[in-house]
Structures are given as C-alpha cells and as structure tokens.
C-alpha cells in the first residue's frame, strides 16, 4: 500500500484505488488516523442533486493521492451520516459479494453463472445452490443444462414455484438477447462500417443512368438520387 498521510484536511480532494481495483475520487469529509478510515464525498453518477459517500479502509487501498489541497477556508460542517442506511448498504454489499462467490462454477459457462446470480438475487442466497452443473432452488426445484425454462424440473406440488422460475429464466434470456442485439447494432454502426456503406453508395450513384424523358414509361421512372444529398 502507498504511504498514507498522517492527516487529510477536510475539503481536500483525494484519489485512491480500492482492493477491488476501483478508483474513488472525492472530497474529504472525515479521516480517522487510528483506524485509517477515510470518508469521501463525490458527485452522484445517477443524479445531479445527490452525492455518493464512500467509507474507505486505507489499509486495503493503494495509490492514495491528494489531488487538491483545501485552501484553508473550508467552514462547512460535514453532514451527519445515516448510520441505519449505511448498515443496510453494508449488508447488501456483503450479500452481493457472497452471491458472486457462490455463483462461481468452473464446470459451467459465464452465462449460467449469471443466471445463478439472478435467481439468488430473487430468492435468498442460501436457497440457491450448485449441485454439480445443476442449479437447485429450495432443494425442491432443479434447473439442468442448458438452463432454459423447459429444463426446470420439480414435482407437481411445486407447480407454482416452477412456473415462476420458468418466467424468470425466459425473461433472463430475453434480456440477454436484447443486450446482444444492441451490442451488434453498435458494432455495425462503427466508423469502418459507415465508410464501407458510404463507399458503396458512391459507387452506385456513379453508375450510368438511363436518360429520363425519352418515353412516357421512362418519364414515370424516378431518376437516381445522388448519395449524400
């Protein structure tokens, strides 16, 4: 870990990299030297009216840099933190990390692991488990490869649960297909594709055209429209 300053001035701008290789930059709200806990505030990426607050353990961070020192005229008192909200966020973060770890299975595809995480997010984490390459929910319903809705197996007593899981799986693959189509559309609109299309249009517009007005039939035929008009 990079050397940690003895003190960070409230109002200064600090940049550091977390143990998850995430860069966090923000304004210092508080710093405790004993525990090496640093609280940063940065503008929210989702709302102009909100701020994101990060509580960082600098013992687990690297590349800690002071980007901008406070000019010494910082008089605004830090807002009080909502401790209950922080506890909820902490619990959610821990649950997400646990789900991600449990979803890892070297015997299945990344897509199957992502489906596992979707199911675990809707049900409790401990209610969704791997049984080899099969996904098991509540020890009652099993999803076998290739993990489509038709691969959901359960007894007649679990019909409602099975139907619910089938709808979730159908929605998952529908979303995956839309994302792939959007990615393909973005790729097709790349500068290289646009150049090829423009070149093709220019070639067709430069081809010899039939003279217009030699007969009534030809007059009814619209003349070619040059490209890029």
- Region 53-61: mean pLDDT is 88
Co-location of 105 and 166 in the same domain:
yes
pLDDT at 211 over 80: no
Q: Work out the pLDDT band at 189, boundaries 50, 70, 90.
A: low
pLDDT at 219 over 60: no
With respect to residue 78, please indicate whether it lies within any of the assigned structural domains.
no
Task: List 41's β-bridge partners, or say none.
Answer: 27, 53
Name the least confident of 13-22, 43-52, 157-166. Answer: 43-52
With respect to residue 223, please indicate whether it lies within any of the assigned structural domains.
no
What phi and psi values does residue 48 have, to the nearest 5 degrees?
A: -75, -20
With respect to residue 188, please indicate whether it lies within any of the assigned structural domains.
no
Q: Which range of residues forms the domain containing residue 40? A: 1-72
Per-residue pLDDT, 15? 92
- Would you say the pTM of this structure is higher than 0.85? no
Q: Work out the pLDDT band at 80, boundaries 50, 70, 90.
A: confident
Co-location of 60 and 119 in the same domain:
no
Q: What is the CATH number of the domain that holds 6?
A: 2.30.30.100
Co-location of 160 and 115 in the same domain:
yes
Q: Work out the pLDDT band at 79, boundaries 50, 70, 90.
A: low
Name the least confident of 46-50, 95-99, 134-138. Answer: 46-50
Distance CA 74, CA 85 (A): 27
Given 140, 157, 180, the domain boundary residue is: 180
With respect to residue 41, please indicate whether it lies within any of the assigned structural domains.
yes
Distance CA 113, CA 127 (A): 15
Both tokens of residue 187?
């790729």
pLDDT at 164 over 90: yes
Domain count along the chain: 2
Co-location of 161 and 112 in the same domain:
yes
**Nearest-CA neighbor of 54 among 84, 3, 15?**
15
pLDDT at 34 over 90: no
Co-location of 5 and 41 in the same domain:
yes
Co-location of 159 and 125 in the same domain:
yes
pLDDT at 188 over 70: no
pLDDT at 77 over 50: yes
With respect to residue 134, please indicate whether it lies within any of the assigned structural domains.
yes
Per-residue pLDDT, 36? 86
């Amino acid at each position: 870990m990079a050397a940690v300053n003895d003190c960070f001035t409230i109002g200064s701008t600090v940049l550091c990299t977390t143990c998850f290789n995430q860069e966090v930059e923000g304004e210092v709200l508080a710093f405790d030297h004993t525990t090496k806990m640093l609280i940063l505030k940065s503008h929210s990426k989702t709302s102009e009216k909100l701020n994101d607050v990060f509580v960082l353990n600098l013992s687990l961070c690297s590349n800690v840099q002071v980007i901008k020192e406070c000019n010494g005229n910082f008089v605004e008192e830090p807002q009080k933190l909502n401790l209950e909200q922080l506890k909820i966020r902490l619990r959610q973060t821990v649950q997400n990390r646990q789900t991600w770890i449990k979803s890892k299975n070297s015997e299945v595809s990344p897509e199957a692991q992502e489906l596992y995480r979707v199911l675990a997010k809707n049900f409790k984490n401990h209610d969704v488990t791997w049984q080899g390459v099969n996904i098991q929910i509540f020890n009652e319903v099993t999803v076998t490869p290739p993990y489509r809705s038709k691969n959901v197996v359960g007894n007649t007593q679990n019909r409602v649960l099975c139907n619910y899981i089938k709808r979730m799986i159908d929605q998952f693959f529908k979303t995956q297909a839309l994302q792939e189509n959007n990615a393909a559309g973005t790729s097709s609109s790349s500068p290289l594709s646009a150049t090829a299309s423009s070149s093709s249009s220019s070639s067709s517009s430069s081809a010899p055209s039939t003279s217009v007005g030699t007969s009534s039939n030809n007059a009814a035929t619209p003349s070619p429209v040059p490209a890029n008009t």
